């Protein structure tokens, strides 16, 4: 049974990938075994997203297209899309898969971010007294928080509501330096960074850069300006 895609179909796949906002060069073509004995020993074509290993298989059953892909929307398992009657329906399932992949790729890894946040204070926090900040230190914090705000505004396109959320959280953080001891303020700063990452859905690289920037600007609070890589 003929299981290879036509060149025109591969070109359609290329176009769908670009429409979804991906770089087509992040995908590789491969061959894999069919799930159906009806195809004999003929391999079927498989599209693999190289950075994640997620795949879309152009399988066939009884002469009809039967695409399948991993992951599903809700778990890391393969989804059999069932038999479809047209190439357009195959492309529809491909778009569906790419949306799932994009969602996974753009999700910040909160476990990694939490560990990076912890580096901001872990080395010194146990030795820090919860003493108040001096007026000069409060002003230094305000300037640093202002630079973090400027970084966030310039690092990505944000909606008006996201910008208001960022401003409110950072203003609260800066104002808190006048009434919280430094250990309590550090804890608040960690929570504020995490809230911003989640609240405005920062892309993973932007989230990591935010943590690095905050560490460089506020590391002096825990006595080490180079805590973050």
- For residue 42, the enclosing domain spans 7-106
The residue from 50, 85, 106 where one domain ends is 106
* Whether residue 114 is found in the same domain as residue 86: no
Q: What integer pLDDT is reported at residue 165 of this predicted model?
A: 93
Is a pLDDT exceeding 70 seen at residue 119?
A: no
* Whether residue 170 is found in the same domain as residue 126: yes
The residue from 79, 106, 133 where one domain ends is 106
Share of the chain above pLDDT 90, in %: 52
Residue 2 counted as domain residue: no
State the CB neighbour count (10 A cutoff) for residue 192. 21
The number of distinct structural domains making up the chain is: 2
Mean pLDDT of 185-199: 88
Residue 202 counted as domain residue: yes
pLDDT tens digits along 2-33: 568 999 999 999 999 999 999 999 999 999 99
Is a pLDDT exceeding 60 seen at residue 224?
A: no
Task: Please give the Cα distance from 97 to 17 (Å, whole number).
Answer: 10
Is a pLDDT exceeding 80 seen at residue 127?
A: no
Residue 229 counted as domain residue: no
Residue 43 counted as domain residue: yes
Task: Please give the Cα distance from 147 to 141 (Å, whole number).
Answer: 10
Q: What integer pLDDT is reported at residue 72 of this predicted model?
A: 93
Task: Please give the Cα distance from 9 to 87 (Å, whole number).
Answer: 8
Residue 63 counted as domain residue: yes
Query: How many residues are recorded in the chain?
Result: 229
Residue 1 counted as domain residue: no
Task: Please give the Cα distance from 94 to 59 (Å, whole number).
Answer: 12
pLDDT band at 202 (very low <50, low <70, confident <90, very high): confident
Strands of 27-32's sheet in order across: 27-32, 44-49, 55-58, 68-70, 79-80
Q: What integer pLDDT is reported at residue 125 of this predicted model?
A: 62
* Whether residue 150 is found in the same domain as residue 130: yes
* Whether residue 118 is found in the same domain as residue 102: no
Mean pLDDT of 70-99: 94
Task: Please give the Cα distance from 94 to 24 (Å, whole number).
Answer: 13
Of 63 and 170, the structure prediction assigns the larger pLDDT to 170
Q: What integer pLDDT is reported at residue 106 of this predicted model?
A: 81
* Whether residue 194 is found in the same domain as residue 135: yes
* Whether residue 102 is found in the same domain as residue 116: no
Q: What integer pLDDT is reported at residue 29 of this predicted model?
A: 97
β-strand partners of 31 = 45
Could you write out the DSSP letters of every residue in 2-41?
--PPPHHHHHHHHHHHHHTT--GGGEEEEEE--S-GGGTT
Residue 117 counted as domain residue: yes
* Whether residue 17 is found in the same domain as residue 53: yes
Find the helix packing angle between 135-155 and 160-176, rounded to 10°: 160
46: left (phi over 0), alpha (psi -120 to 50) or beta: beta
Residue 228 counted as domain residue: no
* Whether residue 94 is found in the same domain as residue 150: no
Closest among 14, 26, 228, 4 to 123, alpha carbons compared: 228
* Whether residue 218 is found in the same domain as residue 137: yes
* Whether residue 36 is found in the same domain as residue 127: no
* Whether residue 132 is found in the same domain as residue 55: no
The residue from 106, 130, 163 where one domain ends is 106
Task: Please give the Cα distance from 145 to 151 (Å, whole number).
Answer: 10
pLDDT tens digits along 154-167: 877 888 999 999 99
Is a pLDDT exceeding 50 seen at residue 192?
A: yes
* Whether residue 115 is found in the same domain as residue 206: yes
């Amino acid at each position: 049974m003929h299981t290879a895609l036509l060149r025109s179909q591969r070109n359609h796949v290329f176009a769908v990938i670009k429409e979804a906002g991906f770089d087509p060069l992040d995908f590789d073509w491969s061959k894999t075994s069919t799930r159906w004995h009806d195809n004999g020993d003929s391999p079927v074509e498989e599209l693999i997203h190289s950075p994640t290993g997620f795949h879309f298989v152009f399988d066939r059953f009884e002469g009809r297209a039967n695409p399948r892909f991993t992951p599903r929307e809700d778990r890391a398992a393969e989804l059999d899309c069932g038999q479809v009657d047209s190439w357009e329906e195959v492309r529809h399932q491909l778009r569906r898969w790419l949306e799932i992949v994009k969602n996974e790729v753009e999700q910040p890894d909160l476990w990694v971010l939490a560990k990076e946040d912890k580096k901001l204070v872990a080395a010194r926090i146990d030795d820090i007294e919860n003493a108040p900040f001096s007026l000069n230190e409060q002003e230094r914090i305000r300037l640093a928080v202002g630079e973090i705000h400027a970084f966030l505004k310039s690092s990505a396109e944000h909606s008006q509501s996201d910008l208001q959320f960022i401003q409110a959280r950072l203003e609260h953080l800066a104002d808190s330096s006048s009434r919280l001891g430094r250990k309590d303020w550090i804890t608040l700063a960690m929570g504020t960074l995490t809230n911003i990452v989640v609240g405005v859905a920062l892309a993973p690289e932007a989230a990591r850069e935010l943590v690095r920037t905050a560490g460089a600007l506020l590391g002096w609070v825990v006595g080490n300006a180079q805590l973050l890589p």
